[in-house]
A and B are shown apart, each in its own frame.
Chain A
């Protein structure tokens, strides 16, 4: 099921990209224009999608239940980091995200999670801030 859906996705993606590439122009006075290479690539994607529809689909092992929650937890932790980083700075966001990650995906207790989060954020900030001299984002509280 998933594979079939993906194949259909490739076909639509290829078609849409091909249409867009067409509007960029294909051949100009001095050779290929912006659209030519993307058009060829898009058509290949579309063609491959169609060809795959005719082959026997792979049945993937999808995560279920607890496994799904773990993966979702990791995704959530990362998304939280991307969302909050520009606003709250690295120190806070990193520590909170670490706690989310450790708790959702592992067997650690709250204490372990918080300790690990604080320790790793501190080390990373030292490593990047002092050793490598890279400025990590700061929150409104200045650090």
Chain B
């Protein structure tokens, strides 16, 4: 079935009252889940999975998918307003988004985030519509060496994100690797750094780390300073991005969309990695990178587009190959399987109604989310008027519930608290925390894919050069690293040690 015909048939399927209603519900819940710090799409999907049993397959899947990308829309809200990420894929939005809020430009930041998300989501779905089978055929050939190349590239990009002392930044990256090693070594099944603790054998939960490092430290800092009664002293001026904002943002949005989509395709990639890499890219490309960290709108436009595009990208391996790349898509796969549907190479031809219904649902969902989120910008901005002494305990309560919701394990609360205190101390000593998080996310994938590659290869490390894509990615990483070192040592460059 040719794409346009398929798409039209998909719209025919989706434009029924029930399916539209389910899409709307999913969008609302997704936005809500994104806004709540700590509760991410995975938790929401797991909780709502049983609801899909009684729903027809298209409606149920559309609802679940709209929760997934709805969360990417909502996640920027608390990041911008409170400097507390709604979930891991919105951590980078805190950096410049909140600074914009402090300058009274919360409306512009939220607006650009919403619109960027819409553009990226739509671009992602368009690519899916026309290129899904082709992309799937290419994505399937991505083996451990290619993954390794990509992770190395991601790691080099992390180094671009380091602001301030380079030594401290490198230390944070190394520490991220170290903490990520706690748990079970997937390559040989052995326990590392667990010291006999059952809780540690499960590894350190990313959500607890993110909420602790960014949520709690922010609250500690604010509480310490005996605020200012509200988060932002200035009135929110203008709820709409200015023309200058647009001019600055449209290219980062497009770049973020492309980058995010590609990263979504790769197993282990996804919205989190996409948002970080988009930020690093924008910072690297900018003519005056010193603006980053002080309210550069590119630092919001890029990552927020990237995380939405990554959602579309990550759906392709699941729907076209039946291979999930991250826990959320694994859950979507499970939802389909429970319905008796087996996604795979034949899914598009065997169940075109379902495939195109889901794709059409994504178009519709993106529109719903834009319509939902834009007017809400004004509402959210009012949140800033609530006195902090009322706001922060509620936020903390939500953080606790959010951290707990990941594994229902109280141990995660202690992890959150420990990282909160640690992050607070490190911030005082001018350590940048973002590199720790991205290293923490990338390290297991990097290590696993390298070791897998070496095991697979009869020639040892040569496999990395024998496979063209890997060699290309590694070469690009080397070039980028060289460029970065040059920039750091030149007087024009940012930060020194």
List A residues at the B interface (Cβ < 8 Å): 2-3, 6, 10, 17, 20, 24, 30-35, 37-38, 40-42, 44-45, 48-49, 51-52, 55, 58, 60-63, 66-68, 70-71, 73-75, 77-79, 81-82, 85-86, 90, 94, 97-98, 101-102, 105-108, 116-117, 120-121, 124, 128, 131-134, 136
Chain A residue, CB-CB nearest to B413 = A82
Residues of B bordering A, CB below 8 Å:
29, 32-33, 39, 43-44, 47-48, 50-51, 165, 167-168, 170-171, 173-175, 177-178, 181, 185, 187-188, 190, 192-193, 216, 219-220, 223-226, 388-390, 392-394, 396-398, 400-401, 404-405, 410, 413-414, 416-417, 420-421, 424-425, 428-430, 443, 447, 450-451, 454-455, 460, 497
Q: List 6 A–B pairs whose Cβ atoms lie within 8 Å, in order of A's numbering.
A: A24-B190, A41-B177, A44-B170, A67-B225, A70-B224, A132-B39
| Bound: A64/B167 CA distance, A | 29
Contact of B417 among A10, A49, A78, A124 (CB under 8 A): A78
Asked whether, in the complex, the Cβ of A58 is within 8 Å of the Cβ of B220, the reply is: no
Specify which of B220, B224, B225, B443 is in contact with A37 (CB 8 Å cutoff).
Answer: B443
Could you tell me if B167 and A48 are in contact, using CB atoms closer than 8 angstroms?
Answer: yes
| Distance, CA A52 to CA B428, complexed state (A) | 16
- Contact between A45 and B175 (Cβ–Cβ < 8 Å)? yes
CA distance A35 to B185 in the complex (A): 10
Residues from chain B with a CB closer than 8 A to the CB of A66 are 226
- Do residues B188 and A49 form an inter-chain contact, with CB atoms below 8 A? no
Please indicate which of the listed interface residues A52, A73, A105 has the most CB atoms of chain B within 10 Å of its own CB.
A105
In contact, B223 and A52 (Cβ under 8 angstroms): no
> Which 9 pairs, one residue from A and one from B, show the smallest C-beta to C-beta distance?
A106-B389, A31-B454, A48-B171, A44-B174, A41-B177, A60-B428, A82-B413, A101-B393, A41-B174
Nearest Cβ in chain B — how far from A19, in angstroms? 12
A38 pairs with B429, CB closer than 8 A: no
How far, in whole Å, are A31 and B462 apart by their CA atoms in the complex?
Answer: 13
12 additional A-B pairs beyond A67-B226, A136-B401, beta carbons within 8 Å, are: A24-B190, A30-B455, A38-B181, A40-B177, A60-B430, A62-B428, A94-B397, A101-B392, A107-B389, A116-B393, A128-B401, A133-B48
B429-A58 in contact (CB<8A): yes
CB pair A49 B397 closer than 8 Å: no
The B contact surface, by secondary structure, is: helix
CB within 8 Å for A124 and B397 given contacts A81-B413, A85-B404, A134-B47: yes
Q: Are A120 and B393 in contact (CB under 8 A)?
A: yes
Contacting pair B178 A38 (CB below 8 A): yes
> Assuming A2-B429, A37-B177, is B226 touching A70 (CB within 8 A)?
yes
When C-beta atoms are compared, the residue in chain B nearest to A113 turns out to be: B393
Taking CB atoms, residues of chain A closer than 8 Å to B428 are 2, 60-62
Contact between B192 and A24, CB atoms less than 8 A apart:
yes
B residues within 8 A CB of A74? 219-220, 223, 396
Least distance between B496 CB and chain A CB atoms (Å): 11
Using CB atoms, name the residue of chain B closest to A3.
Answer: B429
- Chain B residues lying within 8 Å of A35, measured Cβ to Cβ, are 192
Q: Are A77 and B396 in contact (CB under 8 A)?
A: yes
CB <8 Å contact, B392 and A105: yes
Q: Which residues of B contact A71 (CB under 8 A)?
A: 220, 223-224, 424
Q: Which of A6, A34, A81 is B429 in contact with, Cβ under 8 Å?
A: A6
Neighbouring A residues of B396 by C-beta, 8 Å: 74, 77-78, 101
Query: A119 to B371, alpha carbons, bound, how many Å?
Result: 30
Q: How far is the CA of A120 from the CA of B394 in the complex (A)?
A: 6
Contacts A52-B168, A58-B430 known; A105 to B450 CB distance under 8 Å? no
CB atoms of A55 and B167 under 8 A apart: yes
Docked pose: A45 CA to B169 CA in angstroms: 11
How far does the Cβ of B217 sit from chain A's closest Cβ, in whole Å?
11
Shortest distance from the beta carbon of A27 to any chain B beta carbon, whole Å: 10
Q: Write the chain B residue with the least CB distance to A60.
A: B428
Find chain A residues with CB under 8 A from B398 CB.
Answer: 124
Question: How distant is the Cα of A124 from the Cα of B404 in the complex, in angstroms?
Answer: 13
Q: Would A34 and B397 be within 8 Å (CB), given that A41-B175, A48-B167, A134-B405 are in contact?
A: no
Residues from chain A with Cβ under 8 Å of B401 in the complex: 90, 124, 128, 136
Asked if A37 and B171 make an inter-chain contact with CB atoms under 8 angstroms apart, the answer reads no
Q: Cα distance A73–B497 when bound, in Å?
A: 36
Q: How far is the CA of A42 from the CA of B176 in the complex (A)?
A: 10
Tell me the smallest distance from the CB of B28 to a CB of chain A, in Å: 10
Pairwise interchain contact A108-B389, C-beta atoms closer than 8 A:
yes
Report the separation of the CA atoms of residues A70 and B405 in the bound assembly, to the nearest whole angstrom. 27
A42 to chain B, nearest CB (A): 6
Contact B167 A75 (CB under 8 A): no
- Supposing A63-B224, A79-B417, A81-B413 touch, asked if A55 and B177 sit within 8 A by C-beta, the answer is no
B481 → chain A closest CB, angstroms: 15
- Select from chain A the residue with minimum beta-carbon distance to B225: A67
Looking at the assembled complex, report how far the CB atom of A44 sits from the nearest CB atom of chain B, in whole angstroms: 4
Given contact pairs A41-B178, A60-B429, A101-B396, A55 touches B497 in the complex (Cβ within 8 A): yes
